[in-house]
Structure 1
Amino acid sequence: MEALQKQVTEQGQQIDALRRQAADQDARYRELQERLSSQEARSAAPARPVPMPAPGSKIAEERPVPGGAAADASDTSTRAVRVGVAPSEETQAPPVAQLFEEPSILTPQGHFVLEPSLQYGYSSNNRVALVGYTVIPAILIGLIDVREFKRNTFIGALTGRWGATNRTELELKLPYVARSDSTISREIFTGSANDNVFNTHGNGMGDIEAAIRYQIADGRDNNKPYVVGGLRFKARNGTDPFEVPVDCVTRCIGNTTGTGLPLELPTGSGFYSLQPSLTFLLPSDPAVFFGGLSYTYNFQRNDVSRTVLNGQKEFIGDIKVGDVWGLNFGMGLALNERSSFSLGMELYTVAPTKQNGQTVIGSVRTQLASLLLGYSYRYSAKSVLNVSVGAGLTRDTPDLQMTIRFPMSF
C-alpha cells in the first residue's frame, strides 16, 4: 500500500508538470496569434507579388506552433504555416513574359513601375503597276512600274505605371520615333534602264499615350480567368503626315513629274484615337493562358490640307481613318524561378479610309497578323528583362518586329 501510495503521488506530480507545460504552450500560442493579427491589421492592402517567381507560387514562412498537451517543454519542432498571403478577394494574376502592349498584371497600390523599352520593325514590299492596255492577255502596250519598298523603324519609349488602388492602374507613355524608308524603282515615262533609289528619313517625338486599367474579376474560383478592362487615349503631338512635304511639283493626283513620296517621314499618326480593351488571363499550373479584345476608334479630321514641294498646300477635305478591331491570345510557361516563355498571336483588321464621306479609291479592309515569341528573365527582385520577337503572317504586316522591355519597380 505504501508503494502504491508513493507511485500515485509521483504520477500526480508528473500530471501537474504537464499541466504547467500545457499552460505555457497555450500562452505562447496566444502570443503568436496576437502577433499575426497585428501584422494582418497593418497590411490592409493585399500583398500582390511583382514579379512572382513562377505562375501559381505563393509566399510562405516558417513559425513555431504548440504541440499537444503531453509534449515535452523542450520540444522546438516547427511546421510550415502560410502567412502574409493576400486576402482571397484581392488576389493578383500571375505575371507572364509580355508579348502585347497591355501588361498581364497590374501595379500594386502605391507602387511605381518605370519601363524603358526599344522596338525595332522592318517591312518590305514590292509593287507592280501596269500603265497601259492589253491586246491579248500576254501582250501589254504601255509601261510597267515596279517599285521595291523597304522600311526600318526604331521606337524608344519611356513608360510609367502607378498603382492608384488595389485594382486600378494609371499609365503614361512617351515615345521617340526614328524612321528610314528606301524605295527602289525606275523612273516612269522616261524609258530608263537604271534603278533609282529614293531615300527619306524622319525622327522626333511620337504620339503620347495615356491609359487606365481596372481589374474586373480576380479569378479566385476554379476555371475562372482574371479580367482587366482598359481604356487608352493617343494624342497626335508627333509630326503630322500631312505636314511633311511630298515630292510633287504641282499636284500629286495625276502628277507625272514627281515620285509622290514624302520627302520627310512623319513620327505620328496625325489622328486622335481612343481604345477600350479587355484582357483575360487564366492560370493552369504550370502554364498561363491569356488573350485580349480591343477596338480602336480614330477621330475624324476636317478641312485637312497636305504640304507638297516648295511649301505649297493641297486641300484634301475631311479624312476619317478606318477603325481597328484587335484580337490576341497566347500561352506562358514558367521555365524556373527566374524565367518564363510565352507564345502568342495577334490579329488586327483595319477598316478602309474615307475622304469626304466616301471610301478612298484603292483603300480596302486590311488584315494584320503576327506570330510572337517572348522570353522573360527576373534580373532582380524589382526588375525584369522582357524580350519578344514577332513575324508577320500577312503581306501588310511588318516582316520583323523585336521589342526589349526592362520594367523596374519602386
Structure 2
Amino acid sequence: MPLPQILRAGPAGLSLCMLSAFAQQEPPPDPAGGRSPAELSAELRELKQELAEQRELLRQMRAELAAQRQAVIPELWPQAGAPRAAAVPAQRPMAAAALEALRGTGGTPQSQPQPPLQPPGQAPMPGPAPAAPAVGQAPQRDSRPPEVAPLFEAPGVLTARGRYVLEPSFQFGYSSSNRVALVGYTIIPALLIGLVDVREVKRNTFTAAMTGRYGLTNRTELELRVPYVYRSDSTVSRELFTGTAVERVFETSGRAIGDVELSLRHQLNDGGIDKPYYIAGLRIKSRTGRDPFEVVTDCTQRCVGQNATGTGLPLDLPTGSGFYGVQPSLTWLFPSDPAIFFGSVSYLHTVKRKDVERQVLDGAMEWLGEIKPGGVLGFNFGVGLALNDKASLSLGYDHSSMSRTKQDGVPVPGSVRTQLGTLLMGFSYRLNNQRTINVTVGAGLTQDTPDVSLSVRLPMNF
C-alpha cells in the first residue's frame, strides 16, 4: 500500500500494512534440518561411539607412558632385591640419582632384606616377596639415610637387620716436621750460651684393617674393627756450636696389631628428601696395641727431669695409644636435591692410668705416676654429589682439638692444646651390587696434622 494511502487510512491502515509484511517473511529454519527423530538418534549414537574410541586411545597413551616410566625408574634401584636407602618420589629424578650414586662403606642398600620398591605394573625383581599391605594402607618405605662417598671413619648408612658387611681397608699417612731447640741462655739477643739443636722428623704410617658390621635391627648396627699397624720414623738432627756439622740420623720402626675398636650406632628418626637423618654412635677403644710405655726408650737412666740422658726417643715404635677410650658421637645427613650434606660432632674421653712406668736402657724402669691424656673434641662436615648412578664425589673438612696431657694432676711441661685440621676428598664407585670401592685423600692444614693421608676401602655385602 502506498505511503499516502497508509497515512490517510490512519491506525487501521498501519496495522493492516504490518500484518501484510509479517505474512511475507520467510519461516525460521528447522533445527532438525528436515531429519526424522530416528536419524537424529543414529547420529547421536555415532558421536558417543567416537567419544568412546577417543577415550580408549587416551587410556592406551597413558599406559604406554607409564610403561616407559617403569623402564627408567628401576635403574634408580639396585638389582637383586636391594631397596633404596630412602624412598624417592618418581617426580624427583635428580634427588633419586644422588641418593643412589652416593654409595659408601656402611650397610649399603644391597644389604637390606626386603625387595625394592616397585612401580605399578612392573614385574617384581628377584628376592623375598614382601607382605602385602592392608587395603587402603600405603606400602612401607625404607627410612634409612642415604649413602655418601665416605670421608670419615663412621659410615652414614646402617646395615640392615640380619645382614653383615666385611670391609678390608688400607690407610697411609705421611708427616714431617722441623724443630729448632735452643738449650742454654742468652746474655744479649745476639749471643747464645748453650746448644742449638735442629731436628727434622719424618713419619710414615701404614694401617691395614678388617672391619665387620652386623645389623641388629633396621636402625641399629654393631661394628668391630681390627687394625694392623706398621710405623717408621726417621729423625735427622744436627747439633750446632759443637764443633761439627755432621747430621745424625735416628731411625726406628714398629709393627703389631693396633687398638681394637667396638662401635654401636642407632638411627634416631625417619628422614627423607629435605628432612635430616640423625644417627647416634658410641665407640669403645681398647688398648690391645703395643703400649708406648712398654717399648724401650733411648735413655741411660731417666728421660725426664734435670738429669735426662739419651735422645728420649723409643727404640721400637708403639702401635697403640696405651689407654682405653670412649667416644660418643652424633651424625646428621640432610638430602637436598641434587646433593647430600652431612657432618658429625664427637668427644673422645680417655681413661687415665695410674702407677705408670716405662722401660729405659739396661732394663731399668722409670716411674711416671698417673697419666691422663686430654680429651679430644671433634667435628666434621661435607657434601656429597652424584656423578652418575655408580660414581659419587664427596668433599669435607675434619677438625679435632686435643687438650693438654696431665701427669699426677699437673699439665706435662711442653704439652699444649693441639689443633688438627684436615681437608678431605672422597670418591666412590660401585663395582657391582655387593662391592663398592672408596678412595679418600686428605691434606693436613695445620702443622701437627699429617701432611697427606690416603685410604682405600672395599666394603663387601652379604
Residue 353 (str. 1) matches residue 396 (str. 2): no
Counterpart contact for 1:46–1:91, Cα < 8 Å: no
| Larger mean Cα displacement after TM superposition, 128-137 or 372-381 | 128-137
SS in structure 2 at match of 1:258: coil
Residue 236 (str. 1) matches residue 236 (str. 2): no
**1:185-212 deviation digits (Å, cap 9, x = unpaired):** 1258854320010000000100000000
The answer for the alignment partner of 1:405 in structure 2 is 457
Match among 97, 111, 119 for residue 54 of structure 1: 97
After superposition, where does 1:231-310 map in structure 2 within 5 Å? 231-253=282-304, 254-255=306-307, 257-310=309-362
- Cα distance change of structure 1 residues 380 and 271 upon mapping to structure 2, 3 Å threshold: same
SS in structure 1 at match of 2:447: coil
**1:89-140 deviation digits (Å, cap 9, x = unpaired):** x512111100000101001111111000000000111111101222222222
Mapped to 2, the partners of 1:283 and 1:256 lie a distance apart of 57
After superposition, where does 1:5-404 map in structure 2 within 5 Å? 47-49=83-85, 54-56=97-99, 59-61=117-119, 63=121, 87-88=140-141, 90-186=142-238, 190-220=242-272, 223-253=274-304, 254-255=306-307, 257-404=309-456
- Cα distance change of structure 1 residues 187 and 130 upon mapping to structure 2, 3 Å threshold: closer
SS in structure 2 at match of 1:310: helix
Counterpart contact for 1:54–1:338, Cα < 8 Å: no
**1:12-57 deviation digits (Å, cap 9, x = unpaired):** xx9xxx9xxxxxxxxxxxxxxxxxxxxxxxxxx994549x983345
The residue type paired with residue 357 of structure 1 is G
Counterpart contact for 1:219–1:226, Cα < 8 Å: yes
Mapped to 1, the partners of 2:215 and 2:434 lie a distance apart of 15
Counterpart contact for 1:340–1:375, Cα < 8 Å: yes
Mapped to 2, the partners of 1:260 and 1:157 lie a distance apart of 30
- Cα distance change of structure 1 residues 187 and 250 upon mapping to structure 2, 3 Å threshold: farther
Give the deviation of 1:295 after TM superposition: 0.5
Give the number of equivalent residue pairs: 355
**1:313-357 deviation digits (Å, cap 9, x = unpaired):** 000000000010000000000000100000000110001000001
The residue type paired with residue 324 of structure 1 is V
Give the deviation of 1:144 after TM superposition: 0.4
The residue type paired with residue 55 of structure 1 is A
Give the deviation of 1:257 after TM superposition: 4.1
- Cα distance change of structure 1 residues 86 and 394 upon mapping to structure 2, 3 Å threshold: farther
SS in structure 1 at match of 2:340: strand
Mapped to 2, the partners of 1:64 and 1:111 lie a distance apart of 27
Mapped to 2, the partners of 1:137 and 1:59 lie a distance apart of 76
TM-score scaled by structure 1?
0.81
Give the deviation of 1:271 after TM superposition: 0.1
SS in structure 1 at match of 2:383: strand
The residue type paired with residue 232 of structure 1 is R
Counterpart contact for 1:128–1:147, Cα < 8 Å: yes
- Cα distance change of structure 1 residues 134 and 189 upon mapping to structure 2, 3 Å threshold: closer
The answer for the alignment partner of 1:71 in structure 2 is none
Counterpart contact for 1:54–1:94, Cα < 8 Å: no
The answer for the alignment partner of 1:69 in structure 2 is none
Mapped to 2, the partners of 1:56 and 1:397 lie a distance apart of 32
The residue type paired with residue 131 of structure 1 is V
Give the deviation of 1:87 after TM superposition: 2.0
TM-score scaled by structure 2?
0.72
Counterpart contact for 1:46–1:87, Cα < 8 Å: no
SS in structure 1 at match of 2:157: coil
The structure with the largest helix share of the pair is 2
Mapped to 1, the partners of 2:303 and 2:374 lie a distance apart of 22
- Bigger radius of gyration, 1 or 2? 2
Counterpart contact for 1:48–1:86, Cα < 8 Å: no
The percent of aligned pairs where both chains have the same amino acid is 56
Mapped to 2, the partners of 1:64 and 1:339 lie a distance apart of 26
Mapped to 2, the partners of 1:217 and 1:49 lie a distance apart of 14
Counterpart contact for 1:213–1:228, Cα < 8 Å: yes
- Cα distance change of structure 1 residues 270 and 332 upon mapping to structure 2, 3 Å threshold: same
The structure with the largest strand share of the pair is 1
- Cα distance change of structure 1 residues 228 and 194 upon mapping to structure 2, 3 Å threshold: same
SS in structure 1 at match of 2:362: helix
Mapped to 1, the partners of 2:117 and 2:231 lie a distance apart of 46
The residue type paired with residue 387 of structure 2 is L
Counterpart contact for 1:55–1:95, Cα < 8 Å: no
